[in-house]
Structure 1
Amino acid sequence: MSLDVPAVDMRTYLAHVELANPVTTAAGCAGTGRELSQFFDLGRLGAHTTRTITMAPRAGRPTPRMTETPSGLLNAVGLQGPGIEAFLGRELPWLAQRSIRTVVSIGGGSVAEYTALARRLADAPGVTAIEVNLACPNIEDRGRVFARDGAASAEVVASVRSVTRYDVPVVAKLSPDVTDVVAVARACVDGGADALSMINNPLGVCIDVDTLRPALAAVSGGLSGPAVRPLAVRCVWQVHAALPGVPIVGVGGVMTGRDAFELILAGACAVAVGTALFHDPLAAVRILKELEDALAARGFQRLADAVGLAHRPPGSGSRHLEESSL
């Protein structure tokens, strides 16, 4: 009699697009994809998310622009990249030729710039979805970050949705540095977002007590790593509770399969791996296997059955938990 653990159906959906499994890379953490492809086939993941693409080439911010913190990493790299033309000429074709599902992250300083980026991607082969990085300063509004205002976020999302093919989902990436993340999420969905990604890095500051100066040249930077996972879980939980039908990509501090499982239970249908890749290039495939094992050990036959399960009413019990303890 075989004691093998039954296989779990790991398929999930980003709006109407089917992904083979829920694990993706996080924007800015996997380079062009070529870097990770030295270690494993990127096609094994649900999708690869690009670094945030801008219209013009950008050198990024001055150094020092990264520093470690307790249980985290603070970075102020900026949106460094070659610009949309180089991306379309070199990076996207390489991914498309290998049939790698690719979520293209875009960022701009104005609604018009986001619209122009989305329009350039409209007919590009190999684009699975567009992730709208709303953590960019709006040059038309005194540099206020789009993600901090629901109306501004919705305007960007609506502009991108208006020039993007129907079969390509538009994913709004949200910041936790807001008073009401649910209100911003709702505004983005009303503006046409097919899915949400959360969280973008919250801002932090680290001061070097030896130099007596901020550790980053830009002073503040985005915090990532295990330190932010409870914040990500909270945001996913709140938004899923308010908008249960909207697909959510959980991002923030995912280092193990258990971390990914936590975000799934909170309401995410997919999970992005970011900072973990910097010290373990195989982290994404390891986390995928650990997540599948965690689901199987608890009696799940489908990933979809675990999405948002922690929202069940108190005292209702869990068939999967009960079966796994037998």
Structure 2
Amino acid sequence: MSVSLGALELPGPVLVAAGCGGTGRELEPYVDLATLGAFVTRSISLDPRSGAEAPRVVETPSGLLHAEPPSPGLEPFLASELPWLVRSGARVVVSITGRSLGEHTEIARRLGRAPGPVAVEVAVSGEPFHAASLVAAVVRDLPRGLPVLAKLRPDPLRVVETARGVLDAGAAAVVVGDAQAAALPDGRPAGLSGPAIRPVALRCVTEVCAALPDAAVIGGGGIATTADARSFLAAGARAIQVGTALLHDPTTAARIAAELDQETP
């Protein structure tokens, strides 16, 4: 059940979402990473980050609240995490994050010289033209021309406009289903993921696919069962990402991939 995401060809439609598979080693006992469509890394910053103060992950009804996670920094990632993932047979999509356009482009320049990644994922937010500018800069500074996946929050009011902008800026595909803006119980900024956002994410995927029928769309947001995955694929997504469900059952991605593969004629 291979899928085409612009220039990126993957053997299957099930990807691990950024941050939810850790370094990959945490999932290895439960799934052969080589059997999945791709593994999206935790978000890698230019310099090491300690992340938000604990507690930074809190369960909430039908979802998970999470503040800024730690990052090892780009150089330690390139030295240890990326080589291990490549040796495991995973198709590695590197999620990158930065506090400025300059940080994003510096990561892109260095990452483009590293062997192994098949694509780069960058989360975008704010005004659609800001999102497009960020994607254009990352695309420009990737020396090897790695495909860029632009990850969008499921905002029904602006998701189509933002998707159109980042695709015009050079993104190979859009990932619709990033965390919703929320707050931890103590009021600190956080993201909300999991089944709580699934209906909104599904609506956004449906609208993007209807408005941009030629776009390569990856759907995500609370996918926990094969039925959930089918809903996103039926809406027009070419692939899906499994994230928060892995923290409850680390076999989820492997199970969904196997069941979808059995359904393929």
**Matches of 1:178 and 1:132, distance apart in 2:** 20
Root-mean-square deviation (CA, aligned residues, Å) is: 1.5
| Structure 1: 4+ residue segments shifted above 4 A | none
Residues 1:279 and 2:257 are matched in the alignment:
no
CA contact (8 A) 2:45 2:107 kept: yes
The amino acid that maps onto 1:267 is: G
Mapping of residues 183-202 of structure 1, within 5 Å: 183-202=161-180
**Matches of 1:116 and 1:40, distance apart in 2:** 33
Distance apart, 1:75 and its partner CA: 1.3
When residues 229 and 178 of structure 1 are mapped into structure 2, their CA distance, relative to the original with a 3 A threshold, is closer
Q: What is residue 225 of structure 1 aligned with on the other side?
A: 194
Q: What is residue 209 of structure 2 aligned with on the other side?
A: 240
Residues 1:180 and 2:149 are matched in the alignment:
no
**Matches of 1:129 and 1:279, distance apart in 2:** 27
After superposition, the C-alpha distances for 1:26-82 in whole angstroms (9 at most, x for unaligned) are 001001111111222110101000011000100100122222221111111x14111
CA contact (8 A) 1:43 1:99 kept: yes
Structure 1 residue ranges without an equivalent (≥5): 1-9, 135-146, 207-214, 302-326
The amino acid that maps onto 1:289 is: A
Q: What is residue 41 of structure 2 aligned with on the other side?
A: 50
Query: In structure 2, which of residues 96, 113, 130 is the aligned counterpart of residue 106 of structure 1?
Result: 96
Secondary structure at 2:26's aligned position in 1?
Answer: helix
Query: In structure 2, which of residues 252, 257, 260 is the aligned counterpart of residue 288 of structure 1?
Result: 257
**Matches of 2:113 and 2:212, distance apart in 1:** 31
Secondary structure at 1:100's aligned position in 2?
Answer: coil
Residues 1:254 and 2:232 are matched in the alignment:
no
- TM-score normalised per structure 2: 0.95
Percent of residue pairs identical: 47
After superposition, the C-alpha distances for 1:206-241 in whole angstroms (9 at most, x for unaligned) are 5xxxxxxxx24x523211111111111111111111
Distance apart, 1:165 and its partner CA: 4.5
**Matches of 1:55 and 1:224, distance apart in 2:** 25
Structure 2 residue ranges without an equivalent (≥5): none
After superposition, the C-alpha distances for 1:287-322 in whole angstroms (9 at most, x for unaligned) are 1123334xx3xxx53xxxxxxxxxxxxxxxxxxxxx
After superposition, the C-alpha distances for 1:153-211 in whole angstroms (9 at most, x for unaligned) are 111100111122465211100112473111111111111111001111002235xxxxx
- TM-score normalised per structure 1: 0.78
Which protein has the larger Cα radius of gyration, Structure 1 or Structure 2? 1
